[in-house]
Amino acid sequence: MPAMSRRATHPVTMGRVFALAWPAAVSVLLNNAFKVIDQFSVQWLGVAAQAAVGACTFVLIAFYALYSITAAGAAPLVARATGARDDPWRRRVIGNGVIGATLIGVLVLLACGFGAGGIAAWLNLAPAARAEATQYLWWLALAGFPLTLAPFIDSVFIAMGKTRKVMVLQVLATVLNASFNPLFIYYLDMGIGGAALATGLSRGVSVVLGLWWLVRMVGLGFGDLVPDNVLRWIVSIGMPVAWGTALYALVYWGLLSWVISPLGPEVNAALGIGYSALEGFTWPLFWGLAAASASMVGQALGAGELDRVRKVIRCALWLACGCGILASLLFWFGAEPLSALFTNDPKVLARATEYARILAFSQLFVAFEALAGGVLEGGGSTRAAFWWSAPFNLVRIPLAWYLAVAEGWGAAGIWWAINFTTYAKSAGLWWQLGRGQWPKLRRF
């Protein structure tokens, strides 16, 4: 990509980084709310429906990993093209990304539709829950195409620094999903299939609006939708991110099967409360900061302004410190009262409180990890980010077993295993980031 000497119009300040970060954080929070809305909405269908929706979360994570190939692959290229003010190259990248996301989405949804029964069986659910999961996945295959494009659209807007547009799209989709769920599930008597249809249609409205905005902003035309070798370049950048996302989900699946579940249902519940309820609010803040910083770094690299890259990282690091310390204090002092909002069982409350207080010792490093990993991926160093994250995620399974079972630490051993591997990932990612070796990502 040709370097241009034009300077960016906005100075690098913590206020500027935060202004881009908070809409991205809200967007992630609202995106996570989709699972909560679906889980809440199907409760009157019975336990089988709730179990099916909960189990299908792992399937949706696997699908998202595939959708992230084009989303993560196009983002650094779009950011650099934006920084270099190279509009033809940006249109070419976006056009190839749209085609790539469409092809991947069609293949995933065909597999979902024709393999719905097999996927439900693989989840090892009871017969009633398996039937509900099959129906949910079948309807998702019919109505879920917008889900294949949504991550790509969001990543492109973030790469261009338009995080507020992403937030607007997420607000719209969330409100529509909350409205459509009771309509389709109960009023139209579609059952659990209505939840999948509501998800697809609500995302569909936001995707159409997002594409319309994108076409107007970058001047995307039909001629830009002809795939070429840029698509291969996008896939090569995005694949490590996809593998990392899928592996992360599989690691937690392994922890649940081999370490957490054998310790009792109260430990399962504690993980659900801590991971979904507590970290579900702090992680979006970390991710939003990382996404905004990645966008600014990518644009600065595109403009050939390495000093600006360092200023962005320095400002973001101070914000990460503040967010991490705030999360640590919240986890430590709010452990019991916050956990009590989600359970009345004293055993579950004790385990959830233990989870929060132990994880309080790693929240600062989670913020550092998110920032370094996000900036590396935003700069195109997706393979480096993968190799400093994936191996330590895998180590969590044997380390958790060793501490929890062999050493007799119980559930605390699992949570400390998560802490120890977080420290290692954070240190490795920052060491890699400090080297300052950014891929050239030259245009074809």
The pLDDT value recorded for residue 256 is 80
What residues contact residue 55 under an 8 Å CB cut-off, 6+ apart? 123, 125, 129, 133
Provide the residue ranges of all domains of the chain, joining segments of one domain with +: 13-227, 238-437
What residues contact residue 128 under an 8 Å CB cut-off, 6+ apart? 46, 48
Per-run averaged pLDDT (10 residues), the chain, 444 residues: 44 88 90 77 81 78 91 95 94 96 96 91 79 92 94 96 95 95 93 93 96 94 91 95 90 85 83 78 92 94 92 95 96 93 85 95 97 94 95 97 96 96 98 88 56
Q: DSSP readout, 116-155?
A: HHHHHHHTT--HHHHHHHHHHHHHHHHH-HHHHHHHHHHH
Question: What is the pTM (predicted TM-score) of this model?
Answer: 0.90
What residues contact residue 436 under an 8 Å CB cut-off, 6+ apart? 306
The pLDDT value recorded for residue 34 is 76
The pLDDT value recorded for residue 265 is 80
The two three-digit tokens of residue 193, written as one number:
């299939």
